[in-house]
Amino acid sequence: MDNRYPFVLPPLPYAYDALEPDLDARLLRYHHDKHFGAAVDNLNALLAPYPVYQSWTLRELCLNWAQLPDEIAPDVRNNAGSVFNHTLYFERLHPLPPSAPSAPLEGAITRTFGGMDGLYKAMKGVALSVFGSGWAVLAVGRDGNLTILKTKNQDTVLPLEPVLCCDMWEHAYYLQYQNRRKEYFNAWWRLIDWPNATNSCKERINGLPAISYV
């Protein structure tokens, strides 16, 4: 997430129909190309008149948006957060068959949640409790332990490090699942790319002092 202006929409890392029947091609085209794509375009348009901020990384924009001029700060918050969260959402899914976390993430899941079933129940509980638009995020805390957080709108969990981001905006599921949010959550859960998620956090979970996340 050290990319900078001008931001580019990352291609979907699999074919549009690769996640069917859990997430169908029509839903993915709208979600990735239209919703995610719009956030990339909006963020570029916001920063275009402000060369001084074009050197900020995506992560820096998400963390420090409040330091931006008032006329762009709220929109940068929303659109940079959207680019950050959606990047992780799409890159940490993969076509079936289901995968499993490897050490050390598996060990951290067992320590914190008692095992995969405990994590599933905890994550599902948080995801289904999102009221309005927001995200359920499995993150690594500053102590190297896992935690599940809920964010509103497009806020990120930074400076904590996200491992998995479950998009609970209606646009993430409504075309295929309408009001059946539990079914959508279960589809997302089956599609998690656990090897990728493990790689994203193994250094932090290995117990490095939690002092230099950002």
Q: Could you list the residues that contact Mn ion (CB under 5 A)?
A: 167, 169, 172
Between 188 and 194, whose beta carbon lies closer to Mn ion?
188
Q: How many helices (H) and strands (E) does the chain have?
A: 9, 3
Q: At closest approach, how far in Å is the CB of 99 from Mn ion?
A: 22
Between 113 and 135, whose beta carbon lies closer to Mn ion?
135
d(CA 89, CA 167): 7
CA end-to-end span of the chain? 11
Backbone angles phi, psi at 164, to 5 degrees: -140, 135
Between 47 and 172, whose beta carbon lies closer to Mn ion?
172
Q: At closest approach, how far in Å is the CB of 89 from Mn ion?
A: 7
Cβ contact 59:76 at 8 Å: no
Q: At closest approach, how far in Å is the CB of 31 from Mn ion?
A: 6
Cβ contact 213:161 at 8 Å: yes
Nearest to 39 by CA among 87, 71, 2: 87
Residue 109, token pair as written in the block: 């899941």
Residues near 78 by Cβ (< 8 Å), separated by ≥ 6?
A: 39, 153, 154
Q: At closest approach, how far in Å is the CB of 35 from Mn ion?
A: 5
Residue 66 DSSP one-character state: G
Buried-state track 93-127, b at ≥16 Cβ within 10 A, e below 16? bbeeeebebeebbbebbeebbeeeeebeebbbebb
Between 83 and 139, whose beta carbon lies closer to Mn ion?
83
Amino acid identity, residue 150?
K
Q: At closest approach, how far in Å is the CB of 111 from Mn ion?
A: 30
Between 1 and 210, whose beta carbon lies closer to Mn ion?
1
Q: At closest approach, how far in Å is the CB of 118 from Mn ion?
A: 26
Between 119 and 172, whose beta carbon lies closer to Mn ion?
172
In this chain, which residue has its C-beta nearest to Mn ion? 167
